[in-house]
Amino acid sequence: MTHHQQSAFTVACQECSVDMEPDSANEVVDFYRRHRRQTGHDVVLTRADLEFEPPTADDLVTVIADLENRYENGVPIGIVAATMSERGFSVGETLDEIYEVRMTGALYEPRDDHLAAF
């Protein structure tokens, strides 16, 4: 008897009917980037089993600041995308918002694909 361990995340492109179960939160972002580059489509998280109750704030900086208590050296962008998906944001919309907020200087990237708030 085999046991299939279900991934904590499922990402889907509704235009292509493609689903993926990444092994980690940041693989959600990697999948989005590859898929966007190849097709021009956005993707959505259809399942995100976070091990905690996500922050309830609406603005991105507050969400990231709240999540920083759980992660050393930055919050994985995939976790931010999973949290924002609870508010109806696609992965692409979340990354666009991250870019806009980073340009204001309110966020920085302590290491690749991890975010922290000033």
Distance from C-alpha of 102 to C-alpha of 109, rounded to nearest angstrom: 9
Q: Is the pLDDT of residue 1 over 50?
A: no
3-state SS record for 7-73: CCEEEEECCCCEEECCCCHHHHHHHHHHHHHHHCCCCEEEEECCCCCCCCCCCHHHHHHHHHHHCCC
Mean pLDDT rounded to a whole number for the chain: 93
* Average of per-residue pLDDT across 92-103: 96
pLDDT digit string (tens) for 12-51?
Answer: 999 999 999 999 999 999 999 999 999 999 999 999 999 8
Distance from C-alpha of 43 to C-alpha of 28, rounded to nearest angstrom: 9
pTM score of the predicted model: 0.92
pLDDT digit string (tens) for 76-87?
Answer: 999 999 999 999
